[in-house]
Amino acid sequence: MISPESQDYIRRIRQNPPYGANGFSVDELREIMGSRREPTIAGVKCERVSVDGVPCEWVIAKDADLDVRLMYLHGGGYVSGSGEFYLPLAAHISAAARCAVLLPDYRLAPENRFPDALEDCIQVHEWLTVTGPGGPSRARATFIAGDSAGGGLTLATLLALRDRHMPLPKGGIPLSPCADMTETASSIRSQAQFDPIVHPRLLHECVRHYMGDGDVRNPLASPVLGDYTGIPPLLIQVGEHEIIVDDSIDAAAKARADGVEVTLEVWPGMFHVFQSHEPLLPEAREAIDHIATFMRACLDG
């Protein structure tokens, strides 16, 4: 049973059609998801850095361990979004998990199509392993997390790091990952009338802009088709009423079949990236606590 607060919130967001139902504009989406939202937790420090040309921002809550570093990859359908929009969520994760969070602004489509964003993520994670908020310093542990497009990039980055024999994080945390560019998942149809955030037309346009003429069955574009052998543990969180809920279910099943330890959480009644909406819903607070618990377990393990 979902909380009364979430029930009321969902009623309010359902008063407007999901994004993409009445057309799609990259510029409009960028204006919305490129805005800066300051952390809502007192005492959080934010510091902008550049990683070989990729703009990034550190988010560090009080008492965070600067040697435990999480790279958080923002959502936005591969065509929009910025770390600035995710400062509040990054701060909540930093406080709950007592880690330093780095938000990279990877390159966006259609100006930069697949695999440019992925290459940026690989580059930033490599930097993260040897550089902290205070400068050169080897990390005790790293993690990769992200939502929506950033969730898909989280999985793709793990696969690419493994394939290139580069240092892997302790764990991966995809939230509502957009991880299947083939657009064949049954949930695109079955959840279309229930998803209050994303319309199937938006998904289609984002795939078109991101992939261009690229192969949508490339596992680094559609990680649901990947081989997860040797990948670290995964925590996958997704809302029940998402047109891409099958991306999470299918990726979890494939990773488990390949021998990976996977925790899949399908949150009843929840919507796309419910963890990021402010003020935090009870379910969002609980989900963030689960992220912190998962990270601690990976560190202890």
Among candidate residues 80, 82, 94, 148, the one labeled active-site is 148
Backbone phi and psi for residue 59, each to the nearest 5 degrees, phi listed first: -130, 120
Among candidate residues 272, 276, 277, 290, the one labeled active-site is 272
130's tokens:
């040897």
d(C-alpha 180, C-alpha 111), whole Å: 21
Work out the angle at residue 273's Cα, subtended by the Cα atoms of residues 18 and 244, and round it to the nearest 5 degrees. 65
Among candidate residues 242, 265, 283, 290, the one labeled active-site is 242
Residue (of 277, 284, 195) closest to 240 by Cα position: 195
Q: 295: Cβ–Cβ under 8 A, 6 or more apart, which residues?
A: 68, 70, 97, 99, 143, 170, 171, 173
Is residue 174 reached through a cis peptide bond, with omega within 30 degrees of 0 on the bond before it? no
Q: Is 277 a catalytic site residue?
A: no
Q: Is 209 a catalytic site residue?
A: no
Under 8 Å between Cβ of 47 and 57: yes
Largest CA distance in the chain: 49
Q: 248-252 — which CB contacts under 8 Å span 24+ positions?
A: 248/174, 248/176, 248/177, 248/179, 250/179, 250/180, 250/185, 250/224, 251/155, 251/174, 251/177, 251/179, 251/223, 251/224
d(C-alpha 145, C-alpha 79), whole Å: 18
Check residue 83 and report its DSSP letter: G
CA distances from 278 to 85, 86, 93, 273, 283 (A): 11, 11, 14, 11, 12
Q: Is 74 a catalytic site residue?
A: no
Work out the angle at residue 208's Cα, subtended by the Cα atoms of residues 202 and 213, and round it to the nearest 5 degrees. 170
Which residues carry out catalysis?
Answer: 148, 242, 272
